[in-house]
Amino acid sequence: MPIMNIIEAVRSALQTQMRVDKRVIVLGEDIGKFGGVFRATSGLFDEFGADRVIDTPLAEAGIIGTAIGMALYGLRPVPEIQFSDFIFPAFDQIVSELAKFRYRSGGNYTCPVVIRTPVGGGIRGGHYHSQSPEALFIHTPGLKVVTPSNPYDAKGLLLACMRQNDPVLFMEPKRIYRASKGEVPEGDYTVELGKAAVTREGTQCTVLAWSGMVSIAEEAAAKAAAAGLSVEVVDLRTLMPFDIETILASVTKTGRCVIVHEAPKTAGFGAELVASIQERALAHLEAPILRVAGFDTPFPYTLEHEYLPNADRVLTAIRQTLEW
């Protein structure tokens, strides 16, 4: 089985689906001959041609609006927004149009658009290339939000997204695009949407994370284990719909929970998780649920690594909840 990074896994998923379904079209800025700014679409133009790998103008609202039209007429477009920070010009198209077609048509029309976009910091991109806007889209009924943390999941989840009929934001952690490597089947497989993964078993505290923060959570859990503490790590993988059953099973077992995400703390998706857990499992909690997150400021450039959660910050929260 070949070793791939996340970029290679994403490319493999696109290539796999484009070979079996001629309705799949990819489009976006520089995704053709250039292969995308991160080279995720490298080689697709040569294999599938300009009719299915389409370079677009620098106009995000136009990219998504075009993809919506394609989907309504029977195609299955996979547009790329070069950085998630650039998605805001297309926000109205996504939340007012894309997310609403199934509802407004009484279920008669679907709009199977899978929007790929890199998210998060870690590349010294400053505040216009480092944001994590997942909560804005989770708050929009009608959208699915998927956040892989490793190459195996990236390919399997992306294939699953391209084979269902709802619009999806597929958010890829660019900080570990090439750093995260693992075995990925060359052939066809899918990873179930809406299903979390327990990546490390533990008994004293649950750490919930997604995307680029899963590796941080696992590093913190390893440090905790060296100090004699048992920490369970859960990778949500899909944020909408999220796997509340797996979360509750873990939290009721450990009695404690720490949530880790890159986005600013206030009104981040961690707040919804806190509410969802305490509504259902308050009697099982032995301490308040803590959040380790980005700060409520624009994403900084020179202080990037002070802004991003790290293993030591997560370990401090684990100790706090165990000592409460």
Of 129, 139, 261, 305, which one is the catalytic site residue? 129
Q: Is 129 a catalytic residue?
A: yes
> How confident is the model at residue 260, as a pLDDT?
98
The predicted model scores a pTM of 0.97
> How confident is the model at residue 2, as a pLDDT?
94
Q: Which residue's entry shows tokens 């590349």?
A: 123
> How confident is the model at residue 16, as a pLDDT?
98
Domains and CATH numbers, the chain: 3-183 (3.40.50.970), 197-323 (3.40.50.920)
> How confident is the model at residue 126, as a pLDDT?
84
The Cα-based distances of 275 to 15, 164, 215, 268, 288 in angstroms read 40, 29, 24, 12, 11
**CA quadruple 235, 238, 239, 245: dihedral positive or negative?**
negative
> How confident is the model at residue 124, as a pLDDT?
83
> Mean pLDDT in runs of 10 for the chain (324 residues)?
96 98 98 95 97 97 98 97 96 97 92 97 86 97 98 98 97 96 96 98 98 98 98 98 98 98 97 98 97 95 91 98 97
> How confident is the model at residue 127, as a pLDDT?
86
**CA quadruple 190, 192, 196, 198: dihedral positive or negative?**
negative
Give the Cα separation of 195 and 242 in Å (integer).
7
Give the Cα separation of 163 and 65 in Å (integer).
21
> How confident is the model at residue 91, as a pLDDT?
97
> How confident is the model at residue 269, as a pLDDT?
98
According to DSSP, residue 39 is labeled: -
